[in-house]
Amino acid sequence: GGYKIVTTQELKGWIDAKKPMLLIDTMPYEDSYKKNHIPGAVQMEFPIPEMTTLDDKKKEELLKLLGPDKARLIVFYCGFTKCTRSHNGAMWAKKLGYTNVYRHPGGIVGWKDADYPVSSVK
């Protein structure tokens, strides 16, 4: 998809170093994000099948979330390695002209397996 990959350990290092970034959880809000997400992540759900098109509403929503700075560090993640939600998010961010886009393939499962802290929505 033209994006780069960040490991769980690297991502934790970036967060600990307070590296400025937009961290996006692409999982469903009720079933996943609300229960646990990487601290500081915002939620925008993406589908599992490969997204060959982006409708105007979703495109507008994504551009609003990503903001005007095309060089901003953006990290997408989803559930686990085989999940393709974060691939869709990262791929479309690249297609929209963002240059510093990463995918965290380990997702929330890899994050929790590493015993890193999670946040939830009360």
Q: Would you report the helix, strand and coil content of the chain in percent, each value rounded to 5?
A: 35, 15, 50
Residue 88 confidence (pLDDT): 97
Q: Work out the pLDDT band at 61, boundaries 50, 70, 90.
A: very high
Residue 1 confidence (pLDDT): 78
- The candidate with the shortest Cα–Cα distance to 33, out of 107, 83, 87, 116, is 107
User: Which structural domains are found in the chain, ordered by start?
Assistant: 4-113 (3.40.250.10)
Is the whole model's pTM more than 0.75, yes or no?
Answer: yes
pLDDT tens digits along 2-48: 999 999 999 999 999 999 999 999 999 999 999 999 999 999 999 99
